[in-house]
Structure 1
Amino acid sequence: MTHRSIIHVDMDAFYAQIEQRDNPKLVGKPVIIGGTSSRGVVSTASYEARRYGVYSAMPIEAAKKLCPEGIYLPVNMEKYKKVSSEIYNIFKRYTKIYEPISIDEAFLDVTGKDALEIAKAIKSDIKNELKLTASVGISINKFLAKLASEADKPDGLTIIKKDEILSFLRPLPVNKIWGVGPKMNRELNKLGIYYVRDIQNYDIEVLMSLFGKWGKEIYELSHGIDERPVEPNNLSKSIGEEKTFLKDVCDIDVLLKALKSYSINLSNKLKKRGYLARTISIKIKYKDFTIENRSVTLSIPTRDENIIFDTAKYILLNKFNINKEIRLIGLILSNLIYPEDPLQLSMKI
């Protein structure tokens, strides 16, 4: 195992914290960011709101039932992006090797430096200059550093040392392992695996026979093994747009109109950032909140709005059964590359 010094910085309830900073009357109040429409979803909930059971991605309608006294605000993305840029400028003071994960979190490789002193300095700079708090984790790889940052929120600082790895991981629920979502969690539960310690004690050969390569990966992660480097030039994993309709729809023309608008906007974003997209995906959320995703991977990457729209139209008309009313439709472009990157030609439908 390569022993690096990795820091994971995760801002605390980022959008809500910014609004509380900018409006002192909101401090200590349950603030929910995600729009004022009852058909929206929660983007961020302050820690005061989380005590009511409100969490990210929850329908605003459900949040209002749990927290009727909450303060509901629309997303102000321009403001949040500006603050995010200021945070990343702080990171640059301490290392050139940092990997953005989202607008409010990143990994930093500080191998060969004093990770604890750097983590303290970053937290101090963010607090003094931006009047915000971040939770920070330190360990020998990305997986463990992220778990460390989650261990003591908000405003925490946690280190997982090499000789503490197995004991730290042992009592955690198995869904703390990257990639173990609800479906995989159920499959593991059927095997009597509920905690990370259960995987640590499981036969790796059996896991591989059941889950293939993924069986080996979850076994390694359960032992704190993660060889992925921090990638400073990491491209955005995807860009996308989506819209929750004011009323549930099943009109193809309305859906196509939305996809046309997304295609134009996303094409412009690709051109601005200098990317091409290889994978085009449609996300649909139905009236009952079930979600389906379908995608096509092109043999020749594109940023052309007409190709994006034509592919999106093909996916919608051929890969979905539009018999149920639709609450939301989204278009996602992923597998992003620079034009000079080598291509591995293929088409997956």
Structure 2
Amino acid sequence: MTGRPVLHADADSFFASVALRTRPDLAAVPVAVVAHVYIASANYPARARGVRSGSLAQDALRQCPELILIDVPRAEVEEVGDALFDIFHDSARAVEPGSIEEAFLDVGADDLAGAAEAGQTLRRRVARELGIPISVGVGRTKLMAKLASRRAKPDGLYLIDSDEEAALRTTLPIDDVWGIGATTLQRLGRIGVFRLGDVDGIPRNELQHVCGTAMARRLWRMRDGTDDAVVRPVEQRSSLTAEGSTAGYARPDKTPAELAAACVERLCHRAERAGLAGTGITLTLRPETGGKAIVLKRTLVAATTGRDTWLEVAGDLLAGAVVPRLAGLRVTLTGLLPLDRVLHTLF
């Protein structure tokens, strides 16, 4: 084994965990948070009863009549997500984000035992400071670390050592390799590739023809243990995103303008907290009937964190568009710059 071990840290049932921080009395009962009319996240007691993210709230209630539904606490979720990454960055040499609640980390450990110790320290700190559980996987490569974090759930740590890694590089089901779509899985199945070791029996040109050159190379590297083990940090955040749903659980519906204003307020607060200013804004509108999203954009001459400015721009964009009934919308502050660079630009 060469190189430093990789950690994969992933918050458990993130939206639900955030919503339950102030409701410890609900920790052991089925709970799910709702975005529009869909389940956004379910805690583990709810999952044990068959409740799944993406299902309709009414279907989830039929599946589990005692299920408690809570509207997604968007502002709190975004704040906790930012704070989680503050802890990640404070705990690691390099952090490669995967989503709002997960990342690969290089903690500078020279061996798996040292990485596992750092992972346990990270878990305790997140629980203490943020009040949410995270699971941490430790492995020699990103694939192994991600597989380990899955096995660590809920609220645990799992380490894949060299012996287990060697076995997985033969026996791992192909559908456990993240990043392979349903169509590619079907094509691989038709040529007899159901486990990672099955690629050994497929001629190279045939595997490339079936799943493409890039995916074939990725599978070969995973098979021989030379897959990606480098944590690639994002040196500077270029955008911040907030979103909301028109309908929620046990709350009044919101208009597009009200949603956009709430998202802008949260974005400006988060940008100021991070010492950043934006030069552009993008509104992505999700029609209630589905279909293609409507994207509205504008760029300013100079970067700013001014709430009034971005509220006015967002309002103008909506006023100038034909807006159908929406399921929700997303607002993204783009072209972020550190505030010290903004000052140099202005003067």
C-alpha separation between the residues in 2 aligned to 1:94 and 1:6?
Answer: 13
Q: For structure 1, which runs of at least 5 residues remain unmatched after alignment?
A: 247-256, 318-324, 341-349
Seen in structure 2, the aligned counterparts of structure 1 residues 30 and 117 have a Cα distance that, compared at 3 Å, is same
* Residue in 2 that maps onto 1:328: 327
Seen in structure 2, the aligned counterparts of structure 1 residues 297 and 178 have a Cα distance that, compared at 3 Å, is farther
Deviation at 1:174, TM superposition (A): 1.7
Q: TM-score, normalised to structure 2's length?
A: 0.70
Task: Please report the RMSD computed on the Cα atoms of aligned residues, expressed in angstroms.
Answer: 4.3
C-alpha separation between the residues in 2 aligned to 1:203 and 1:131?
Answer: 51
C-alpha separation between the residues in 2 aligned to 1:194 and 1:174?
Answer: 5
Q: Contact 2:9/2:135 (CA < 8 Å) preserved in 1? A: yes
Seen in structure 2, the aligned counterparts of structure 1 residues 183 and 235 have a Cα distance that, compared at 3 Å, is farther
State whether structure 2 residue 162 is matched by structure 1 residue 165.
Answer: no
State whether structure 2 residue 77 is matched by structure 1 residue 80.
Answer: yes
Comparing 163-172 and 173-182, the one that deviates more: 163-172
Deviation at 1:167, TM superposition (A): 1.3
The one-letter amino acid paired with 1:41 is: Y
How many residues were matched structurally? 317
* Residue in 2 that maps onto 1:253: none
Q: Contact 2:9/2:134 (CA < 8 Å) preserved in 1? A: yes
Q: How does 1:50-61 map to 2 (within 5 A)?
A: 50-61=47-58
Q: Contact 1:277/1:302 (CA < 8 Å) preserved in 2? A: no
* Residue in 2 that maps onto 1:251: none
Partner deviation per Cα, 1:199-238 (whole Å, 9 max, x = no partner): 3543333222331323222332344411543314263677
**Aligned equivalent of 1:94, options 91, 95, 107:** 91
Q: How does 1:127-166 map to 2 (within 5 A)?
A: 127-166=127-166
C-alpha separation between the residues in 2 aligned to 1:191 and 1:238?
Answer: 43
Q: Contact 1:200/1:223 (CA < 8 Å) preserved in 2? A: no
* Residue in 2 that maps onto 1:229: 231
Deviation at 1:22, TM superposition (A): 1.8
Deviation at 1:82, TM superposition (A): 3.8
Q: Contact 2:96/2:103 (CA < 8 Å) preserved in 1? A: yes
Partner deviation per Cα, 1:233-279 (whole Å, 9 max, x = no partner): 26367736464579xxxxxxxxxx9599759967995986445679x
C-alpha separation between the residues in 2 aligned to 1:218 and 1:281?
Answer: 37
State whether structure 2 residue 192 is matched by structure 1 residue 192.
Answer: yes
SS in 1 for 2:20: helix
C-alpha separation between the residues in 1 aligned to 2:193 and 2:158?
Answer: 27
The one-letter amino acid paired with 1:106 is: A
Seen in structure 2, the aligned counterparts of structure 1 residues 332 and 16 have a Cα distance that, compared at 3 Å, is closer
SS in 2 for 1:198: helix
Q: Contact 1:32/1:49 (CA < 8 Å) preserved in 2? A: yes
Q: Contact 2:169/2:222 (CA < 8 Å) preserved in 1? A: no
SS in 2 for 1:154: coil
Partner deviation per Cα, 1:42-96 (whole Å, 9 max, x = no partner): 2210000001221222222322221221110011133334434444444344324
Q: Contact 2:6/2:231 (CA < 8 Å) preserved in 1? A: no
SS in 1 for 2:327: strand
Q: For structure 2, which runs of at least 5 residues remain unmatched after alignment?
A: 249-254, 304-308, 342-347
SS in 2 for 1:151: helix
The one-letter amino acid paired with 2:61 is: K
Comparing 199-208 and 232-241, the one that deviates more: 232-241
Deviation at 1:16, TM superposition (A): 2.0
Q: Contact 1:96/1:232 (CA < 8 Å) preserved in 2? A: no
* Paired-residue identity, %: 24
* Residue in 2 that maps onto 1:18: 18
* Residue in 1 that maps onto 2:207: 207
Q: TM-score, normalised to structure 1's length?
A: 0.70
C-alpha separation between the residues in 1 aligned to 2:156 and 2:266?
Answer: 39
Deviation at 1:159, TM superposition (A): 1.5
C-alpha separation between the residues in 1 aligned to 2:315 and 2:181?
Answer: 31
SS in 1 for 2:8: strand
